[in-house]
Structure 1
Amino acid sequence: MARMHARRKGKASSKRPMITENPDWVPLSATEIEDKIEAFANEGMSPAMIGMVLRDQYAVPNVKFATGKTVTEIMAERKASGALPEDLAALMVRAINLNNHVSANPNDVANKRGLTLIEAKIRRLERYYKENGVLPETWKYSLSNAELMLK
């Protein structure tokens, strides 16, 4: 499939091994994994970072196979999830950083366009999350509000 904001095709990415169940060599039980996820979430880690820490430091290759639920589902059950979805927060951080760059370098036209494209992605995600009830209907994106929310 083609990229949305570039005139080129997509790139192939790495694939997970074809396993369908939790390996026998995983040292933690499902409840221990859920407790670790809750502890990491309370420290302020994102779901992607929690998955990487569990994979690299605790030898849990796939949380869903080990527990039957994803990291975000476990965080939602334990009421340890953040106020914003992870992808929306990451895009807002990118927009803030790019806005700082563009304000320091006003002649950088390519990055002005990049900021416009990132903000378009944020608005599309905002619409999606409002339709699915993740964000309240009164939530509105703006750079000033994003800086206040994420700092």
Structure 2
Amino acid sequence: MPKTSKQKLEKPTWLKYSEKEVKDIVAKLANEELTAEKIGLILRDQYGIPKISIYGMSMKEAMAEKFEEPTTKNLDEKLKKIIEHYKKNKQDKRAERSLIITKAKFKKRSDYQEMKK
């Protein structure tokens, strides 16, 4: 079977934003304390930019000093919501499983961050 090469990401002709404009948009959104994930969603939904890698940069590069590695903050908030729901609805097996999975993700992420320090 022949090897296939990766498709090169090319900027679509209908995309009207330049690299500098995208960096400015990302900087503005980063100043609003948004995470990299949320910035990516906003770029896709509101500005029509499918991937920032089309411009030859990563989100980390575009955000510059504002970039933060993913933390346990989001998982902690999700965990609190699931626990609160599960306390009210003990019969909810889906919530029970979600609680187990989220706790495991939380532990995995926190262990990784401790190891990285």
TM-score by length of 2: 0.73
Task: Please point out which of 110, 114, 117 is paired with 1:126.
Answer: 110
Residue 47 of structure 1 and its aligned partner are, at CA, apart by: 1.7
Let me know the Cα RMSD of the aligned residues: 2.5
Residue 108 of structure 1 and its aligned partner are, at CA, apart by: 3.6
Q: Which residue of 2 aligns with 1:72?
A: 60
| 1:126 alignment partner AA | S
Are 1:27 and 1:59, in contact at CA under 8 Å, matched by a contact in 2?
Answer: no
SS at match of 1:69: coil
Residue 113 of structure 1 and its aligned partner are, at CA, apart by: 4.7
1:81 lines up with 2:70 in the alignment: no
Per-residue CA distance 1:64-89 (angstroms, 9 max, x = gap): 121x22223322x2x2235x616x43
Pairs aligned (count)? 110
Percent identical among aligned pairs is: 26
Pick the structure with more helix per residue: 2
| 1:101 alignment partner AA | H
SS at match of 1:22: coil
Superposed structure 1 runs of 4+ greater than 4 Å apart = none
Residue 19 of structure 1 and its aligned partner are, at CA, apart by: 5.0
| 2:18 alignment partner AA | S
Q: Which runs of 5+ in 2 are unaligned?
A: 1-6
| 1:26 alignment partner AA | L
Residue 36 of structure 1 and its aligned partner are, at CA, apart by: 0.7
Q: Which runs of 5+ in 1 are unaligned?
A: 1-17, 134-151
Per-residue CA distance 1:21-40 (angstroms, 9 max, x = gap): 22233211112111110111
| 1:55 alignment partner AA | R
